[in-house]
Amino acid sequence: MTIPSAAEFFAAKLTYETDPADLAAARAAGTAPLLLDVRSAAAWRQGRIPGAVHLPGDRLADGITAVAPDPATAIVVYCWGPGCNGSTRAALALTRLGYSAVRELIGGYEYWVREGLAVVDDRGRSRRPVDPLVGPVPGATVVT
C-alpha cells in the first residue's frame, strides 16, 4: 500500500469534504449542491439546514434515485456533527451506488448551527448566535 504524500492527503480531504462556511458561500452564489440530511425523522423535526432533503441513512439506497437520478449530481451529506459518522457512512454508500460527486459536511448540523447559519424546524426558520469557539462574533470587542 502506498501512503499518499501530505499534499495528496490534504487535496483529497478538500475534494471529499466541505465546511459550513464554504457550503453557505456556495448557496449564496447559487452553486449549492444537493444537500442530504441523513439523520432520523426526530432529528429532522428538531432542526435542519434550509433546503436540505431528508433521506435517512437506512433509506438512502432505496430513495436516492428519486432525489438524484443522475449519478453525477453534486451531493453534500450531513449528520449531527463530529461525533456522528452517519454522513461518512452515507457518503460511502452513495459512492458505492455510483455517485461520483459526493462530499461530507464536516462538523455536520452542529457546526452549521454553531456558526450562526440559518436553520429551520417544524416551527419555522431561525438563527442562533455565533459560538465564539467556532467563529468571530459580530460586534465583539477584540482585546489585544
Domain ranges of the chain: 13-126
CB atoms inside a 10 Å sphere around CB 130 = 17
Q: In Å, how far are 4, 36, 65, 89, 137 from 78, measured between CA atoms?
A: 26, 6, 18, 10, 24
pLDDT at residue 142 in the model = 66
Superfamily of domain 13-126: Rhodanese-like domain (3.40.250.10)
pLDDT digits (tens, 9 = 90+) for 18-60: 999 999 999 999 999 999 999 999 999 999 999 999 999 999 9
Per DSSP, the three-state class of 114 is helix
Where are the alpha helices (H) located in the chain, listed in sequence order? 6-16, 20-28, 41-46, 60-67, 86-96, 108-114
Backbone angles phi, psi at 122, to 5 degrees: -65, -10
pLDDT digits (tens, 9 = 90+) for 77-114: 999 999 999 999 999 999 999 999 999 999 999 999 99
